[in-house]
Chain A
């Protein structure tokens, strides 16, 4: 059974940093693309970052480019999102999602999400 479990969310002040983790199980982690998708309170879904399987090519939304870094540790079956220079508008539930295949950016499994609140 595929499982994705996010952690690392919490309350952080504007300008601060946070690292999210997503522990994956039930599939061959290294061979699938992975992504972070966020949802501000009461709003729709917004793609944040992706990392491909294998070589780990990355791509980020313009809204987080230069501030967020996605990475993965295939030996630990874990996905990360390093978030720096956080802003109030980054407040959201952050979901970890598994790509349908190596670099197929539709997402067939999602975690339950972790809440990030940026506020003073």
Chain B
């Protein structure tokens, strides 16, 4: 099973700041990695798929990069609505797995 480790667990930032989230895989997943945003009481929302492709309707302030085992999600300038929990997910190997999440909170 591919284990996805997200860091940091919590990121405390102010609106307007840049957020850098990391997802590390226990083995190579190629480019088959996605990022989701989840707000309290809501379903997850796809932000990035296949490492760097923005999903439909997603703001350009969200960008994804990486391949193999190391991936990064960058939020270039935090808006108030960006404070949420972010998950990565791989589709390279069965079983599909999610990371444990990074909470981006207001400092």
Tell me the A residues contacting B by CB distance below 8 Å.
35, 37, 44-47, 50, 59, 61-62, 95, 100, 104-113
| Residues of B close to A95: CB separation below 8 A | 43-44
Q: A44-B101, A45-B87 are in contact. Are A110 and B94 (CB under 8 A)?
A: no
Interface of A is mostly: strand
Looking at the assembled complex, report how far the CB atom of A120 sits from the nearest CB atom of chain B, in whole angstroms: 27
Interface of B is mostly: loop
Q: A44-B87, A44-B101, A104-B91 are in contact. Are A110 and B96 (CB under 8 A)?
A: no
Question: Is B19 part of the binding interface, using a Cβ–Cβ cutoff of 8 Å?
Answer: no
Most buried by B among A35, A46, A107: A107
| Residues of B close to A35: CB separation below 8 A | 96
Looking at the assembled complex, report how far the CB atom of B6 sits from the nearest CB atom of chain A, in whole angstroms: 9
Instruction: Enumerate 6 A-B pairs (CB-CB under 8 Å) in ascending A order.
Output: A59-B94, A100-B49, A106-B32, A107-B44, A110-B44, A112-B43
Chain B residue with Cβ nearest A100:
B49
Question: Is B11 part of the binding interface, using a Cβ–Cβ cutoff of 8 Å?
Answer: no
The answer to whether B91 touches A111, judged by C-beta atoms less than 8 angstroms apart, is no
Chain A residue with Cβ nearest B99:
A44
